[in-house]
């Protein structure tokens, strides 16, 4: 996982004016998405894979992480900042991703996340 995140970071770092955006935002969001795919999507099954697709355009980078799991309902993830949800063992990673990138989309099955980070 770390190697995949590092490769993407290295290739995109020079293309962003604000390198902190790549060094921190992209790296953390991508690592969190891959970790979620491995842990929750594939249930740590070593026989299942995770696909990472990165598209770099003139104005943005789009990162898609897809696992081989059955997905989840991304519309019903509890807000981890609410007092009643603070001790729940899930929801923080997705919250963090949403804070670090400009746009988050999921496929209908819920086993693929697309994160968009706009260039500044």
CATH number, domain containing residue 67: 3.30.565.10
For the chain, the domain total comes to 1
Determine the pLDDT at residue 36: 96
**Side-chain half-sphere CA neighbours of 78 within 13 A:** 11
**Cross-strand bridge partners of residue 112:** 66
Q: pTM surpassing 0.85?
A: yes
Q: What pLDDT, in 10s, does the model give residues 47-57?
A: 999 999 999 88
Q: What is the pLDDT of residues 79-93, one digit of tens each?
A: 999 999 988 888 899
Which structural domain range is residue 89 located in?
2-118
Higher pLDDT, 43 or 2: 43
What is the pLDDT, as a whole number, of residue 23? 79
């Amino acid at each position: 996982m770390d190697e995949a995140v590092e490769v993407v970071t290295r290739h995109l770092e020079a293309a962003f004016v604000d390198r902190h955006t790549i060094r921190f935002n992209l790296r953390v969001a991508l690592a969190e998405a891959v970790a979620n795919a491995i842990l929750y999507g594939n249930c740590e099954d070593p026989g299942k894979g995770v696909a990472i697709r990165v598209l770099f355009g003139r104005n943005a980078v789009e990162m898609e992480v897809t696992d081989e799991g059955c997905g989840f309902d991304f519309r019903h993830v509890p807000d981890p900042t609410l007092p009643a949800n603070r001790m729940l063992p899930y929801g923080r990673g997705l919250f963090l991703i949403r804070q670090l990138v400009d746009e988050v989309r999921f496929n209908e099955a819920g086993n693929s996340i697309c994160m968009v980070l706009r260039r500044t």
